[in-house]
Each structure stands twice: as C-alpha cells, then as structure tokens.
Amino acid sequence: RLRLHDGKLIKDRRFHLRTYPNCFVAKELTDWLIDHKEAPDRETGIRLMQKLMDHYIIHHVCDEHLDYKDAKLLYRFRKDDGTFPLSKDVKVFMRGQSLYEKLMSVEESILKVREENSVKYQRTFLGCEMVDWLVQEGEAENRQEAVELGRALLEHGIIQHVSNRHHFFDSDILYQFWINFRRRRRLTELLNENSARALSESPDSPFCLRKLNPDPSNTSFLSVQTNKEIKIVSAVRRSSITSLSGNSNPYFSSAPTLVFPPVAECNPKSVLKRPVTNEELLSPGAPFVKKTLTIVGDAVGWGFVVRGGRPCHIQAVDPGGPAAAAGMKVCQFVFSVNGVYVLHLDYQTISSLIMTGPRTLVMEVMEAIE
C-alpha cells in the first residue's frame, strides 16, 4: 500500500462526475505487480488481489464488485477510507509490530541473540526486561498491565517462550519475537499458506493430521460416519516438516510449504451433543476438569483430529495412536498447545501451532465431569 502511494498509483480519481479519493485502477495495479516482480503473470496477480479482498484489505470503491477484476475499475485500500475492520486480533498484531519497530530502532535494545540449552535464538528478551522496558517507555502504566500486554502478544503468536513451554511472566524466562516484522515479504507468500488451512472450505471442518506418503500396507486411522462411507484420516510425519524447513530446529520464522497428495476430505458430523462456549467452560463451578496431556509423536504423527473453534474440541482419536495412549478422548476441549492459550482460536491456527511445534506435544484439555 505504501509503495503504491509512493509510486502515485494510489491517488484521487474522477469518474462519472464524481471524485474518488485514494484509489487505484485494477488493470494498472496488475501491470505494476508484474513489473515489480510481485507476481509472475496476470493470473497470479488477480489471485493475490482477490486474497486481499477476501481478507477485507481492499474493496471496490462502490462495493459493486465482490471479485477483483483485471479491468479499468477503481478499488481502494480499506485503510485509506477508514473501513478496515480493527478487530482485537488486528489491534494486537499492530501493537506488536509497533513495539518491535520501537525496540529495533534503539541502540541498546533488549532484543538480542541469546543461547539456551546450546540453541541460539534470534530477537530474544527476558520477561522481566520486557516488563521494565514497557513501563519505562510508557507503553504500560504498571508491571501488571505490562504482563497483560505480554500475554496478549504471546496468545496471538507474536512472541513466544523460546521452547514453547511457558506463558508470559515477569521473570528471567527467555522469550523471542516469533515474527520478524522487518523481513522482506513478497505478496506471493499469500498463496503458500499452510496446507492445513485448505483442507476444506467449511469454517468448522476438522484439522486432520495426515501422512505425507500414505503407505497402503499400514493401518490407517479411520473416521467413521454413521450410514456414510469410511473416510481415511492419516497423520503428517513430524520429521518431514522439520526437513522441509531446511533446519533441524523446529522453530523457523517462515512457515514451510507442505505439499500433500490428494486425500479424501474429512468433515464428519460433530461429536458434541451441544455447542459449548468459552464462558461456560471458564465460569466458576463449571462441570469441567482440566487435564495436561504429553503426547510424543511417532513416525506417523499424533493420531487425533481437532474440529470447530472458540473453543476447538477433539473430534476423533486413533485408538492405537500416541494421543490415545496419553489419555486423549473425544469431546475434550483444547485449552492450550505447548503453553499457548488457544480457547479463542480456530482449528486452522491450532493446527499451525501443532505442525510447527516440537514432536513432543503438551496439551491442556478440558473434560466434562460425568
């Protein structure tokens, strides 16, 4: 957006006796994407802009077209006309970016390369250092408010404990910015999102852990629907994800591109008898008990299916898999994944945490008291 402003592609334009401020011509923008190597061809450029439309970043100036058309039509960034939806997630992300830029711009920054357990981590800081800095810089009024801000940043995946074992605390625990906001990104990265997000167009379809190379001779994890055909659900090989990143360290700044063979889509009916809200789960005296499960993935994966969102629940468990051995059961609600609070997240985000985390998975689940 800023580059388009600098290049004068975004400007006030007149059409049918009316002036439209801060807009661009779709056809001109597609040309610009190709000229600046942001897209290899027009088709890719159109797909990229459609992605921005789908995420409420750009729109037609009169909202007469829901699709991005490579034509002499006027579109505008929602940030330029005040219609960009500032949800809580977006606000936290923008706050995290602002703090990161502020920390990177000072000479004696608390962000440093540090080593823990013989592993070097980039952009790290101690929890107590961050709390001190937030209070000193007026980003928080007191230490409690600073901790709450740190927790919000962690819960939204902007910072994390270096080994994903702790929430944010005012202590000498080592954390890092998981997102490098200054990394030069190309628009085409939008088309390489985690494959787990593309399993189904349904907003509550399950996240299926699957094999990269299914072996017909192995026993597969079957998800059975009453009076319907059996559909195969397999699991991703944990080692394959690490090798795809090009690094044995499971923590990498850019998500790997996972390529899966065609598999049957799995979207069984929910196992829940009725919907349950986060408020119901967390209310005092609620008939739910929290359990911590440590699941060590094997060569096939972890052996379970997550479905739904806010909160997500366990849809199916492989009776012979690691999850079942750790005590996982269907209908449990996912409270945290590797120390990250996830009750407010959907299955796509939880799937990303699992896929990019360590082979040993630590999950907190909430189970109804019988």
Sequential pLDDT tens for the chain (370 residues): 888 998 999 999 988 888 899 999 999 999 999 999 899 999 999 999 999 998 889 999 998 888 999 999 999 999 888 888 877 888 898 899 999 999 998 888 999 999 988 888 989 999 999 999 999 999 999 999 999 999 999 998 899 999 888 899 999 999 999 888 887 777 887 787 543 344 333 333 333 343 333 333 333 333 333 333 333 333 333 333 333 333 333 333 333 333 333 333 344 578 898 989 988 998 888 899 999 999 988 766 788 889 888 899 998 888 888 898 899 999 999 999 988 889 988 888 888 788 777 888 999 999 998 7
CA atoms of 79 and 77, how far apart (whole Å): 5
Supply the DSSP string of 269-313, one letter for each residue. PP--SS---HHHHHSTT-SEEEEEEEEE--SS---EEEEEBSSEE
Is 0.75 topped by the overall pTM? Answer: no
CATH architecture of structural domain 278-368: Roll (2.30)
> For the domain with range 1-77, which CATH number is right: 3.30.420.40, 3.90.550.10, 1.10.10.10, 3.40.50.970?
1.10.10.10
CATH architecture of structural domain 88-177: Orthogonal Bundle (1.10)
CA atoms of 209 and 362, how far apart (whole Å): 16
CA atoms of 102 and 87, how far apart (whole Å): 23
Quickly count: other Cβ atoms within 10 Å of residue 106's Cβ. Answer: 11
CA atoms of 228 and 268, how far apart (whole Å): 9
Supply the DSSP string of 210-279, one letter for each residue. --SS--TTSPPEEE--TTS--EEE----HHHHHHHTTSSSS--SS-------------PPP--SS---HH
**Spans of all domains in the chain:** 1-77, 88-177, 278-368
Q: What's the chain's length in residues? A: 370
Domains 1-77 and 278-368 share a fold: no
